[in-house]
Amino acid sequence: MSSTLGTTLTKTKTPTGVPAATLNRVLDEGYGAGAWYGADLHTAVADVKKGSAFTRPAKGRHNIAEVALHHAYWAGQITAKLTGEAAAFPLEGEDWFELKDESRLTWKEIVATLDAAQQRLSQAVSKIASGARVSPLGEADRFDLVVGIAGHAAYHAGQIQLIKKLI
């Protein structure tokens, strides 16, 4: 095997036949109900007050509200990829949304958007894995998206925990 940059190495084989309960357990590891490593994303936002949610840790840095809404956006995008349906979102735009205060969405609405996006994702994963719903994607691609969005949630949970300390 060559160590030259640009050379494709053997890719880890993606498992197939993964039960819905296992896929949802993977989602929970990033979003909730209690990850072994500390605060999952649900836990990370649970104790945030609206004043803190919109406070930037430094100039040009994202605040907690923006990070939470960013993950909600991507949870919706992953659901759309898994189901083949269009994603709906409460704000125009994509990926990152500038939120200086509650003029666009309240902190309560952001948390509700985050919870609803994650719930829709979990339901879609369960229905697809159980055969109750058809996905336009193959099993390996679906698994990779579930693992990816769980990692995304865990990453942003850590980011939010750090922002709380910085502010």
| Tens digit of each residue's pLDDT (9 = 90 or more) over 55-114 | 999 999 999 999 999 999 999 999 999 999 999 999 999 999 999 999 999 999 999 999
Note the pLDDT of residue 32: 84
Judge residue 110's burial from the number of C-beta atoms within 10 Å of its C-beta, 0-12 exposed, 13-18 middle, 19 or more buried: buried
- pLDDT at residue 3 is higher than 70: no
Closest by CA to 156, choosing from 16, 48, 1, is 48
pTM of the model: 0.89
Closest by CA to 64, choosing from 21, 109, 127, 110, is 110
